Structures are given as structure tokens and as C-alpha cells.
A = this chain, B = another copy of it.
Amino acid sequence: MKLSCLQENLNKGISTVSRLVATKGTLEILSHILINTEGGRLKLSATNLEIGVNYKIGAKIEKEGGITVPARLFSEFVSQLPEGKINLEVKENTLYTNIGDFKSNIKGLAVDEFPLIPKINTKKTLSLKSGELKEAINLVSFAAALDDVRPVLSGMFIRAEKDKITLAATNSYRLAEKIINLSKKDIPKKEAIIPARSMIELARILDDPEKEVSIYLNETQVIFETDDVEFTSRLIEGQFPDYKQIIPSESETKAVAPLSDFAGIIKVASLFSREAAGSVTIEVKQKGKIEAISAATQYGDSTASCEAEVTGKDTEIVFNSQYILDVLNNLSGNRASLELSGKLNPGVIKKEGDKTYIYVIMPLRA
């Protein structure tokens, strides 16, 4: 391999792929990134065996080839270099770099030791804007289970059908569902469960909201592809719970409050509820208030309220405060709505006026 490219492009590519690299343990090769030439560009690749990422940058290629190099050293090194044209050359498993007055060589491993990131040969399932996909991932992914006790619950359900994609995640105590409407009307039905961790990494990588992302889905893998990134994840096998049945179809009480005020009172209540596993009592009052009450503990107690537009009857319910904060911290917009039907039924939080997103929380027994 012998080529030149711009330090600023190389640096961006390395920082995009190197997040995936294993930092310790496991195989040495997994702490490396693969760099090689492909289709007239320089391709950087990293994988943790669950996710694989390829990032392509423009390069002037004199000789095709490749090498793998330790990700941490290469990433710190390139980030310290000045901007401008950098020359890269591989000789006998060593990468020689040269830019201005900086000359280095980094010992690597042969390309064929690097695990293959699988390619998909199926047809494109659909495509959409990066920004829409990223927003949807951020609104849904936190609701997944953090552990793998029930693997399907650590995943994000994705369904493409007709003119929309549905994303959903649940840890069985709370559920988030987001629908993205598409301009195409005839997308064939496909479903999959993608690890939520993979989707969170994908959202971090999608940095230009205007870019088009194509999705390719088969029985075991999914690929998200833009003009410079290919992001591959394995799928989770199994049946996602039939979550639609727990979404309440109507409510007895509805309160609409400014997002930041609502988050503020829950945050204060949560500080006093650590001993009580985060449980906070929420009272919605017809006279126009949401009140968050944390029961007395060894540290003290707290009552905080904010103004709200309330319809329906007075009610109260006990929730895990963190579950409320998770959604309020991710919602955009000015106002959020809280819909309740007594203390035993699930509550619903939405962004005011947005029918494409719903967040359901199961009540705690007070």
C-alpha cells in the first residue's frame, strides 16, 4: 500500500471507527484497526464481533494494499499531527507515515488476521435521512434492558412496512415506540431485533443529519450505509413481545406542562428517593398542577410542583423517577404531556402534538 490523503479526513475516520475497538483482553487483533485501499478510496475498519464499521475517505492511491495497526496509538498519533497531506506506505507489516517534519513507523499485523466484516447481498430495504433515524434511536434506545437476561429485551425492535418504520424497545417496566413516516409507500414488510447497544453506537456515528442512510436487512445481519460509512450489526434471534397491547388507548387524566419544569420537579424528587429505589409519587391536580412528592427517608423529603394544563380528574400514581427523567431528558420541544388512568394503570408520556412517539411507564405499587 502506498497513498496520500488529508490528515483531517484520516483523523475523522479513525475517531469514527476506533470507538468500537476492544481496549483490553480478548484478541490483540480486535484492538487494531484495518486500513486498506478499496475502490479508489482508503477504507478504515474496526469490529468488536457484534458490530463492524467501515469508513471510507478520499485518497490518492499509488499502490493498493493494507495493514492493521493498534487503534489507540494510531488514533492518538494522527490526532496530534498537523493538517495537510499525509503519506502512508506499508512495507513488511509496518506502516510508514510522513507529514511535514513528522516521520513515524508503526508496527502492525497482516490484513488476513483481521476478522471479516460480513457483507449483505440482499436488496436495499429502505432509505431515510440520518437525522430522523438518529432522533428515533435516541428516543427509543434507553428503554431497552441493560442486561442480557432476556436477550430480546436488550434489543430494539424494528419493523419496516408500507410507508413507515417503527422502532420500539422495552425492559418490561417501560416502553418507547417511535414511528418514522417515509415518502415511499410500498416498502415490503420486514422485522428484526437489533442490539440496542449497536443502535446507540450508530446514532453516535450519524453526525450529518442531511445524509441519506440506506438499510439492508437479512435474517442475521443489518447494514446501515451512507456514502462514507458502512455500519454492520448482528441481529438478536427471538420474538419481540407483543407490546402494542400494553399501550393504553385512552386516559382519565391528562396534564400538559413545560418540559423543563416537569423535568425539574422530578429531578428534585429523585434526589430524595434514592433509598426508596427512586420511587416518586406524582399527583395531577385539576386546578392546574403536577406535584412530585418523595416520601420521607433518612435524608429528608421533598414536595415540588409545576403548573400544567390539566383535563380530567385529580389522580396520583407512583413511578420510578429515573424512568420519567430518561424520557424527559431525550424529548425535544417545549411541552410534554402526561396521561394517567388511576394509580394501577400504566402512564403515558408524549411530546405535545406529536403522534409518532409514545412512552409508557408501569406504575410502582406505593
Contacts and interface: CB of A to CB of B under 8 A. Distances in A.
A300 interface: yes
B102 A302 contact: yes
Contact of A299 (B107, B299, B303): B107
A65 to B, nearest CB: 18
Q: Which of A94, A107, A289 has the most CB of B within 10 A?
A: A107
Interface string A53-79: 000000000000000001001001100
A182 interface: no
> How often does this chain occur in the complex, in copies?
2
A330 B294 CA distance: 47
A73 B77 CA distance: 42
A268 B80 contact: yes
B304 A103 contact: yes
A269 to B, nearest CB: 9
Interface in A300-327: 300-306
Contacts of A265: 101-102
A90 to B, nearest CB: 12
A203 interface: no
B299 A76 contact: no
A301 B271 contact: no
Contacts of A356: none
Contact of A77 (B70, B82, B271): B271
Contacts of A80: 264, 267-268, 271
Interface in A83-113: 94-95, 101-107
A362 to B, nearest CB: 26
Contact of A94 (B73, B103, B300, B305): B300
A265 B104 CA distance: 12
Q: Which of A94, A95, A303 has the most CB of B within 10 A?
A: A303
A80 B294 CA distance: 15
B305 A101 contact: yes
A77 B268 contact: yes
Contacts of A272: 73, 104
A70 B299 contact: yes
Nearest to A268: B80
Given A73-B272, A104-B304, 9 more contacts: A73-B271, A73-B300, A80-B268, A80-B271, A95-B300, A103-B303, A104-B272, A104-B300, A107-B300
9 contacts: A73-B271, A80-B267, A101-B289, A101-B305, A102-B265, A103-B302, A104-B302, A104-B304, A107-B300
In order of increasing CB-CB distance, the 8 nearest A-B pairs are A104-B302, A106-B300, A101-B305, A102-B304, A105-B300, A103-B303, A80-B268, A107-B300
